[in-house]
């Protein structure tokens, strides 16, 4: 049986303002009605695989858990205390499988934020790779290039005399220049490095020990002290923080003599920019992609996205326009690789728009910050059926709650009350309180905060179902 390992630690800054640090692209529905992480899991449905392991950071754990719950998938969610790149992340997963007595298990390592349009071809490539992985090879999947792209790393394969589609890896090349790439395409021996792999647990750990024993040592120490709560597996933070940062390509694949490449021509994209997303989408007669409430007039070759309000574009060409609740991006389509420079400026200015959206997801539901001023803030809060916020208090703010949909169970001091639509209550400053949804439909309330300080860190938690401090 194949054991999928899904790497979900990316930040996706080049798809800002839709992708944010706290809600990056793997959790967005960019290519279908499913989020990209969900697409990654769903494309494994018709082949024999175990429950997936998803590796993510602490901040994204509830997003992963909720998206797996929506799919009714029981995933093992392994939490990285800090990001240390792909070689340590995969090592944690391999060590976890080894602890379960699965040293000879075959791992299929996938990124959570890729698009693969032809799933049948992808499955064929997996079946082609499986016997090689079972025999001890370290398999990588090389994407058959469709253009002379300079933004990808390349893999050179050595063609086999017996016409075996699986080739020994001759070399890895890190993002060559245009002239070099053009020669690669003419030769037919080079592939884009997809970042997808297949190998046995024991073979990966053996190769890591051979080439980067320091990484393996840190990961072994981190896995000696693990804890589990809900769907999550935590490792020892101090041990993992000391782990060197390195990718599987640099740490293992470029050093081993056991690497092979399986060519893959399945409509793959890493959706690394707005122009890459434009490439994937169906276009109108003027080569535009329009999503949301969009009106176009005399517009061509553009990508226009509107989230909550009408977006109109007139007399434009070759633009990317992305409108969210709190940020608007307008960029030339051939400059979108530099969106990360805008994100850097936002971050350096001490703003928060690179971190999260105005609408913020929590394990119990979500909230949308509708309005704010110097001493007030208004939120639209949605609580999932059966969920509840922590038992808490605030030192610097009072709150008014108005129920607009569903039923709220409110604990305020020594009192507990049920509120239905159009009813309200007041939470004084410093009072211990809790909001719960005892019903079967989402609870929606309007919360009006007032006080001298309204930051999210003004919360003292006494009880919490989700293990937050």
Residue-level pLDDT at 162: 76
CATH number at residue 104: 3.90.550.10
Same structural domain for residues 195 and 129?
A: yes
**Can you tell me the mean pLDDT for 252-268?**
96
How many other CB atoms sit within 10 Å of the CB of residue 257? Answer: 8
> Is residue 469 predicted with pLDDT exceeding 80?
no
Q: Judge whether 54 lies within some domain.
A: yes
> Is residue 12 predicted with pLDDT exceeding 80?
no
Residue-level pLDDT at 268: 96
**pLDDT tens digits for range 185-221:** 888 889 999 999 999 999 999 999 999 999 999 999 9
Same structural domain for residues 61 and 184?
A: yes
Same structural domain for residues 149 and 251?
A: yes
Residue-level pLDDT at 177: 87
Which residue's structure tokens are 């969106």? 339
Q: Judge whether 468 lies within some domain.
A: no
Same structural domain for residues 197 and 333?
A: no
Same structural domain for residues 223 and 288?
A: no
Residue-level pLDDT at 163: 73
Q: Judge whether 254 lies within some domain.
A: yes
| % of the chain with per-residue pLDDT over 70 | 100
Confidence of residue 78 (pLDDT cuts 50, 70, 90): very high
Query: d(Cα 288, Cα 300) in Å, to the nearest integer?
Result: 6
Same structural domain for residues 128 and 241?
A: yes
Query: Kindly report the CA angle at 231 between 226 and 232, in degrees rounded to 5?
Result: 30
**pLDDT tens digits for range 362-406:** 999 999 999 999 999 999 999 999 999 999 999 999 999 999 999
Q: What is the mean pLDDT of the chain?
A: 94
CA distances from 31 to 34, 333, 340, 360, 442 (A): 8, 19, 21, 22, 27
Domain that includes residue 90, residue range: 2-269
CA distances from 41 to 3, 35, 136, 160 (A): 12, 10, 25, 33
**pLDDT tens digits for range 398-432:** 999 999 999 999 999 999 999 999 999 999 999 99
Query: d(Cα 352, Cα 330) in Å, to the nearest integer?
Result: 19
Listed residue (73, 69, 63, 78) closest to 24, CA to CA: 63
Confidence of residue 142 (pLDDT cuts 50, 70, 90): very high
**Displacement of CA 439 from its chain's centroid (Å):** 31
Which among 269, 287, 309 is the end of a domain? 269
Which among 292, 326, 347 is the end of a domain? 347
Q: Judge whether 428 lies within some domain.
A: yes
Which among 247, 269, 291 is the end of a domain? 269
CATH number at residue 390: 2.60.120.10
Q: Judge whether 187 lies within some domain.
A: yes
- Are 450 and 465 a contacting pair, CB within 8 Å? no
Query: d(Cα 106, Cα 110) in Å, to the nearest integer?
Result: 13
In eight-state DSSP terms, residue 293 is S
Q: For the whole model, what pTM was predicted?
A: 0.91
Confidence of residue 340 (pLDDT cuts 50, 70, 90): very high
**Can you tell me the mean pLDDT for 36-59?**
94
Q: Judge whether 166 lies within some domain.
A: yes
Confidence of residue 306 (pLDDT cuts 50, 70, 90): very high
Residues 6+ apart with CB under 8 A from 164: none
Write out 197-241 in H/E/C secondary structure: EEEEHHHHHHHHHHHCHHHHHHHHHHHHCCEEECCEEECCHHHHH
Residue-level pLDDT at 155: 95
| % of the chain with per-residue pLDDT over 90 | 87
Same structural domain for residues 365 and 402?
A: yes
Same structural domain for residues 245 and 150?
A: yes
Same structural domain for residues 51 and 165?
A: yes
How many other CB atoms sit within 10 Å of the CB of residue 61? Answer: 22
Residue-level pLDDT at 185: 87
Residue-level pLDDT at 114: 96
Same structural domain for residues 265 and 281?
A: no
Q: Judge whether 469 lies within some domain.
A: no
Query: d(Cα 427, Cα 403) in Å, to the nearest integer?
Result: 14
**Can you tell me the mean pLDDT for 137-145?**
96
Query: Which pairing describes strands 190-200 and 138-143: parallel, antiparallel, or unpaired?
Result: antiparallel
Q: How many domains are there within the chain?
A: 3
Same structural domain for residues 282 and 186?
A: no
Same structural domain for residues 131 and 260?
A: yes
Residue-level pLDDT at 304: 98
Q: Judge whether 352 lies within some domain.
A: no
């Amino acid at each position: 049986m194949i054991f999928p390992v899904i790497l979900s630690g990316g930040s996706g800054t080049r798809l800002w303002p839709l992708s944010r640090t706290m809600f990056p692209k793997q959790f967005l529905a960019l290519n279908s009605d499913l989020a990209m992480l969900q697409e990654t899991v769903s494309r494994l449905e018709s082949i024999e695989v175990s429950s997936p392991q998803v590796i993510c950071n602490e901040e994204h754990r509830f997003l992963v858990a909720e998206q797996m719950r929506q799919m009714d998938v029981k995933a093992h969610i392994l939490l990285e205390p800090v990001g240390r790149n792909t070689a340590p992340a995969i090592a944690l997963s391999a060590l976890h499988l080894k602890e379960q007595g699965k040293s000879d298990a075959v791992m299929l390592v996938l990124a959570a934020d890729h698009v693969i349009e032809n799933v049948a071809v992808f499955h064929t490539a997996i079946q082609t790779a499986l016997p090689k992985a079972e025999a001890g090879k370290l398999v990588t999947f090389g994407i058959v290039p469709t253009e002379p792209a300079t933004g990808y790393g390349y893999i050179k394969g050595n063609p086999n005399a017996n016409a075996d589609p699986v080739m020994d890896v001759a070399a890895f090349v890190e993002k060559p220049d245009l002239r070099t790439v053009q020669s690669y395409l003419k030769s037919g021996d080079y592939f884009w490095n997809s970042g997808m792999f297949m190998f046995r647990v024991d073979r990966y750990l053996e190769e890591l020990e051979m080439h980067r024993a320091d990484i393996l040592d840190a990961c072994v120490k981190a896995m000696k002290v693990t804890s589990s709560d809900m769907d999550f597996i935590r490792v020892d933070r101090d041990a993992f923080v000391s782990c060197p940062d390195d990718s599987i390509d640099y740490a293992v694949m470029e050093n081993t003599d056991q690497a092979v490449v399986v060519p893959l021509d399945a409509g793959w994209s890493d959706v690394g920019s707005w122009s890459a997303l434009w490439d994937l989408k169906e276009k109108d007669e003027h080569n535009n992609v329009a999503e949301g409430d969009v009106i176009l007039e005399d517009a061509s070759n553009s990508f226009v996205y509107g989230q909550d309000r009408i977006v109109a574009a007139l007399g434009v060409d070759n633009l990317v326009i992305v409108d969210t609740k709190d940020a608007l991006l307008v960029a030339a389509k051939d400059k979108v690789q530099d969106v990360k420079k805008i994100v850097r400026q936002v971050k350096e200015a001490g703003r928060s728009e690179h971190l999260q959206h105005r609408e913020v997801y929590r394990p119990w539901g979500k909230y949308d910050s509708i309005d704010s001023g110097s001493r007030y803030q208004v939120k639209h809060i949605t609580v999932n059926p059966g969920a509840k916020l922590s038992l808490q208090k605030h030192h610097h703010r009072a709150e008014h709650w108005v129920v607009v949909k569903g039923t709220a169970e409110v604990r305020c001091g020594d009192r507990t009350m049920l509120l239905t639509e159009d009813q309200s209550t007041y939470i004084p400053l410093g009072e211990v309180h809790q909001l719960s949804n005892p019903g079967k439909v989402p609870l929606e309330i309007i919360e009006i905060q007032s006080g001298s300080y309204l930051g999210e860190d003004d919360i003292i938690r006494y009880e919490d179902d989700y293990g937050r401090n």
